[in-house]
Structure 1
Amino acid sequence: MTSSLPAVPDAELLRLDHQVCFSLHAASRAFGGVYRDALKDLGLTYPQYLVMMVLWEHGSQPVKAIGEQLRLDSGTLSPLLKRLESAGLVRRERSAADERSVTVELTGAGAELKEKALPVPRRILAATGLEVEEILALQALLGRLTGALDQAR
């Protein structure tokens, strides 16, 4: 579905408050602050939390699969995994079948951290001030936006 822009002067379109990308950026930064507080007791940053959620949900994963799920390249993901490994939460192992492939798995401490993380999603939901139905609608809309932007590249 493609729509044309309304008859608005180009200079008007350059206003910051007309940029959907800036609205998303501002919301992301606000989420970052809430997550920082919510994850403090877990000793995780938000990107580390995302990695842990992938592993809690799917179990051992190749680094490549984690990167694909989180939309992170290996240059961003490798230092994250190294810090999680140093904290004793994950273990990385090279595949015997393909030395280029590295698999990441939870340690006992990493698996146990899931229990401590259980209240985080409800805390974040409460902080949004939105109803569950609104969150679901927003996720669907953002999924459509992401798909359209991926296609536009």
Structure 2
Amino acid sequence: MLELKVPPLLLFNIFAAVILLPAEYPIRLDNYGFLVGCILVAAAMLIALLATMTFKRAKTTVNPYSFDNVNALVTSGVFGYSRNPMYLAMALALLGIGFIVGKVVLAMLVAIGFVSYLTKFQILPEERLLADLFGAEYRQYCQQVRRWI
């Protein structure tokens, strides 16, 4: 059973809201910060889209709460670079939002908190379930591909 009771997408939105709260002194990075933020958000969207398409091609579930519907270990595409590209995309999007609104330091702290929380309460339990489901094949995949990047 997964330990995270809050769906990852909702968790992402909560962490993003922290970045978007009004601040007295946002860091102004002029157009460069905005551009970097847009690039990060675009990269995040691309990674999430590619990961979703890879799951769909494998005919397995994208939903982290429906482990009964997991029927394939997906290791190709973006999953060849990160075991958690969708969560990585969320973390990149948080950083991008921070750059866009001029709250880079806060965004970095929020992204670190997001990654730490998600790793403990979502990813580690998922890894245990996947190891039970796919055994040696999954353990070998873990040795070849990093959890995040």
Query: Would you call these one fold, judging by a TM-score over 0.5?
Result: no
TM-score (norm 2): 0.26
Higher RCO (CA 8 Å, separation ≥ 6 residues): 2
TM-score (norm 1): 0.26
Q: Higher strand fraction: Structure 1 or Structure 2?
A: 1
